[in-house]
């Protein structure tokens, strides 16, 4: 199976979306969800996931707290803040605008 790296700038969008969809996820679950929902096309590099999460914490888009997994392991769960929810809308509309533009560009005969 061929795997693509996530285009730069859209990782925030995907993380925000994952959290909006599921409420509370830890890092591995976020990566997993993105891979599964994209039929394994998108691959989340740990090398970008954790820096991105740190940045989002500082921006105040997400909060983190320690919890326990189903198998009783301590894990750090991330949650959207109201600010993060707003940011998700911004990122989605921005992404759609860009994709639309790119699509138009490549479909031009």
Residue whose token pair is 């997993």? 32
Q: Closest by alpha carbon to 3, among 41, 35, 47, 44?
A: 41
**Site for another protein contains 40 (CB under 8 A):** no
Q: Residue 5: enclosing H or E segment and its boundaries?
A: strand 4-5
**Site for another protein contains 92 (CB under 8 A):** no
Provide the minimum distance between the beta carbon of 95 and another protein in the complex, in angstroms, as a whole number.
20
Alpha-carbon distance 104 to 92, whole Å? Answer: 18
5, 9, 24, 28: residue in contact with another protein (rule CB under 8 A)? 28
**Site for another protein contains 70 (CB under 8 A):** no
**Site for another protein contains 83 (CB under 8 A):** yes
């Amino acid at each position: 199976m061929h795997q693509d790296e996530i285009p730069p700038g859209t990782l925030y969008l995907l993380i925000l979306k994952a959290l909006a969809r599921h409420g509370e996820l830890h890092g591995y679950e976020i990566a997993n969800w993105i891979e599964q929902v994209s039929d394994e096309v998108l691959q989340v590099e740990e090398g970008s996931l954790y820096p991105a999460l740190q940045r989002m914490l500082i921006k105040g888009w997400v909060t983190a707290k320690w919890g326990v997994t189903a198998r009783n392991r301590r894990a750090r769960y991330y949650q959207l803040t109201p600010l993060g929810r707003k940011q998700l809308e911004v990122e989605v509309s921005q992404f759609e605008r860009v994709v639309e533009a790119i699509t138009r560009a490549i479909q031009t005969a």
